[in-house]
Chains A and B, each alone.
Chain A
């Protein structure tokens, strides 16, 4: 580091700067806070030279000035837009300012947003217009991989400089991406011509890429004569009053009403490119538009749900809000009891993108990782089904619960296991909708068996779904598991939670159904398995919820929590941290006391990580548990060790054991193949 002179400022140009006066000037200006005049005086130069050097320092990237989007987002008007229209994000820039026209400034703002949002592997669709071109020209963000930029529509007249090809090719080069054009006009002379062109292999290949777009950056056009949609020639020779009098604006060359509904006219059947219903399916729709003449069009686009991220200016934003009847709302914090700040002992680092996408993105990963075994249930984003089913005449097994227990629940879907799994939000039961969709998808005509843990949310949602499914004439039985012996005394077993022991229960039900058992028989043997399954857990560190990264309960550094649940619920008591063998004994003794096996009886054992405890420690416990069971005269039919039923990043373990009889042992040996459990028939 450079040293400071008496004045608090570098007195002379120090050696490391060499003779690079540019660096010297930049340092004095940005680090030491001198004015340009002071620097000029200090260096014996004109103020103009200093100014030019500082500009050069920025353009060469020696000095990097970044405006934090968070600062802009905090502007109350952006927050109001976000709330009013349920946007993912909103950037509102000042309407007046240095740095060129509003279009150029909006373009630069959009470039900042794109820099933050675009990821390697994206297929980014792009429309056209002045602002979109300004965004492409302001962007310079190479270094990402495998990006494709695809035109959202065919081409327009070349009378304008901001054609679809110009916008897409500029954006592609700014991102170092591949540019995929649509090699046709956006508007063709007849529907017949359009259909002919769509049959061309080159175009259908390009359209296929457009279908894979996961983001779009688009302008919003007003319906005024100078608007993009007019100047692009879309409405040449069209009687606007006859066909588009209801249109308030235009997106991707299509027209929408003030309420955001599609306005269909003669152009629709002659337009080549993304239509409005396809636009709605793109996960992230980034719109950049401003100017008071666009208020009606932007409002229409927001109401129609065509925008997820909006970049606009303050005057326009206020106009949109006012037009929607927005008023400043009174806001006041509730005078609620303070619970006190609990500082996390560690920061709870997590690899994630947006918190709201966590469950969907994790599920999407599971579906591709195990694509040979599981597939999405049609009509819902939160259920998976086995590729091996449904089989006519076989009982369908549907399992589920909150997310955060991965590989629960999708890991137990496959041949010889469950037919479908439904996942809710983090630690929250799934709603009836996806349960219903899964039920329909796996119904093989022999009835359905629901298996889920005993939590009030799961009970309510599965019961609501069951009523609807039964109303459709499909018989449903349900097994509500309650293996967690810590959660209630034996005389109140009905109040206990269902936790990792579910793995055995799913296994038994899946095997019985695979072997062709009737619904009655499946239900009976699964119920018996559930009654003979016991689990006990302990935690060393609580789980940290993704949005707060804070521990879900307090646990001192030298304590462990006994009887912890799988949702980060606190356990029943805290004790000083014990050794591995003592911890194993604690879990095992409680289970043996309830199971009360006779010498010579057989069990299956699951030593489960709650997420944060490594395999190394699990095997230490497994060793002790097997020693103890041997000494007790109990045979172990099968041993499972690993993260089978987790609680996000909770450090801790649970021990589950099922008390086997001959039928249950045979069912455990029945082959199965699922992402988290494969049995080939040989005991392991």
Chain B
């Protein structure tokens, strides 16, 4: 079966949550090097709240497309911080794209990445090269659009998106922060991976692996 209903979309969110939770301390350490070390906790709490709310909503019979707005609210109220509004905007933007859809086709899933990217860009107002999560979401979104235009299958689209995301993450080492807390460090942020960029890669990888499992093609 190709499509994802609300329960199956919840399983995708759960995989993101598990992966982020595994990386909680690693993200905290990355953040501690240049920020206030709360990024791992914020992301883990946010995604845990998304899973809780999605489990309840899908049990009540919500459609897959309705989960995004619910995810946005639950993430925001659980976290606040910077990641709260940014990921809430990401989920809301995806919610606009998939509004009213009872289930998503596998071919719809890669579109989550450009939707997230535009939501995050609109809320955070960062530009490419500012050493933020957008340095991952931006290149990954462009990779999705290009691969879809070339007619690639959903999983292949996510493969190239993940590659672009990983490149983006490594590129943040060479950047100095100009927005957010790390900006006060100036030169001292050089050489460090941006924690928001690192967590964005984890989410994209979970999306890719979750879809692979759903399609019965293994985690690769």
Give the shortest distance, in Å, between A175 (CB) and chain B (any CB).
31
Give the shortest distance, in Å, between A404 (CB) and chain B (any CB).
9
| Interface flag for A188 (CB, 8 Å) | no
Cβ-defined partner of B80 (8 Å) among A330, A431, A572: A431
Cβ-defined partner of B7 (8 Å) among A325, A427, A460: A325
Give the shortest distance, in Å, between A209 (CB) and chain B (any CB).
31
Cβ-defined partner of B59 (8 Å) among A260, A339, A565, A572: A260
Chain A 530-563 residues near chain B, CB threshold 8 A: 545, 547-548, 550-553
Q: Output the residue of B18, B77, B81, B201 with the most chain A CB within 10 A.
A: B81
Q: A336-B26, A425-B41 are in contact. Are A83 and B18 (CB under 8 A)?
A: yes
Contact at A456–B180, with CB atoms within 8 Å?
Answer: yes
Stretch at the interface among B29-37, B100-108, B141-149: B29-37
Contact at B85–A330, with CB atoms within 8 Å?
Answer: no
Cβ-defined partner of A332 (8 Å) among B180, B186, B219: B219
Contact at A428–B42, with CB atoms within 8 Å?
Answer: yes
Q: A325-B7, A488-B184 are in contact. Are A85 and B55 (CB under 8 A)?
A: yes
Cα–Cα distance between A495 and B183 once the two chains are bound (Å): 9
Chain A 249-296 residues near chain B, CB threshold 8 A: 259-260
Give the shortest distance, in Å, between B215 (CB) and chain A (any CB).
13
| Interface flag for B93 (CB, 8 Å) | no
Q: A425-B80, A461-B84 are in contact. Are A333 and B28 (CB under 8 A)?
A: no
Contact at B23–A336, with CB atoms within 8 Å?
Answer: yes
Q: Output the residue of A334, A547, A572 with the most chain B CB within 10 A.
A: A334
Give the shortest distance, in Å, between A678 (CB) and chain B (any CB).
30
Query: How does the 8 Å CB contact mask read for A459-478 relative to B, with 1 for contact and 0 for none?
Result: 01100100000000000000
List of B residues within 8 angstroms of A339 by Cβ: 26, 29-30, 33
List of A residues within 8 angstroms of B7 by Cβ: 325
Cα–Cα distance between A556 and B28 once the two chains are bound (Å): 20
Give the shortest distance, in Å, between B216 (CB) and chain A (any CB).
11
Cβ-defined partner of B81 (8 Å) among A83, A425, A550: A425
Cα–Cα distance between A582 and B22 once the two chains are bound (Å): 45
Contact at B201–A431, with CB atoms within 8 Å?
Answer: no
Q: A332-B219, A334-B23, A547-B41 are in contact. Are A429 and B82 (CB under 8 A)?
A: yes
| Interface flag for A37 (CB, 8 Å) | no
Q: A329-B213, A425-B81 are in contact. Are A552 and B32 (CB under 8 A)?
A: yes
Give the shortest distance, in Å, between B40 (CB) and chain A (any CB).
9
List of A residues within 8 angstroms of B32 by Cβ: 545, 550-553, 568
| Interface flag for B9 (CB, 8 Å) | no
Contact at B15–A456, with CB atoms within 8 Å?
Answer: no
| Interface flag for B157 (CB, 8 Å) | no
Cβ-defined partner of A569 (8 Å) among B35, B55, B76: B35
Cβ-defined partner of A568 (8 Å) among B37, B42, B179, B193: B37
List of A residues within 8 angstroms of B56 by Cβ: 303, 305
Give the shortest distance, in Å, between B135 (CB) and chain A (any CB).
15
Q: A456-B181, A497-B184 are in contact. Are A427 and B14 (CB under 8 A)?
A: no
Cβ-defined partner of B38 (8 Å) among A427, A433, A551, A553: A427
Cα–Cα distance between A402 and B81 once the two chains are bound (Å): 8
Interface residues of A (CB under 8 A from B): 83-86, 259-260, 303, 305, 325, 327, 329-334, 336-337, 339, 342, 402, 424-433, 455-457, 460-461, 464, 486-488, 495, 497, 545, 547-548, 550-553, 565, 567-570, 572
26 A–B contacts, CB within 8 A, in A order: A83-B17, A86-B51, A327-B11, A329-B213, A330-B218, A333-B23, A334-B23, A339-B33, A402-B81, A425-B41, A428-B80, A429-B81, A433-B76, A456-B82, A456-B124, A456-B181, A457-B80, A457-B84, A460-B124, A461-B84, A547-B41, A550-B29, A551-B32, A565-B36, A570-B34, A572-B188
Give me 4 other A-B pairs in contact (C-beta within 8 A), A259-B60, A331-B19 excluded. A329-B11, A456-B179, A460-B124, A497-B184
Interface residues of B (CB under 8 A from A): 7, 11, 14-15, 17-19, 22-23, 25-26, 28-30, 32-38, 41-42, 45, 48, 51-52, 55-56, 59-60, 76-86, 123-124, 179-181, 183-186, 188, 193, 198, 201-202, 205, 209, 213, 218-219
5 closest Cβ pairs, A-B complex: A428-B81, A567-B36, A330-B219, A457-B82, A431-B80
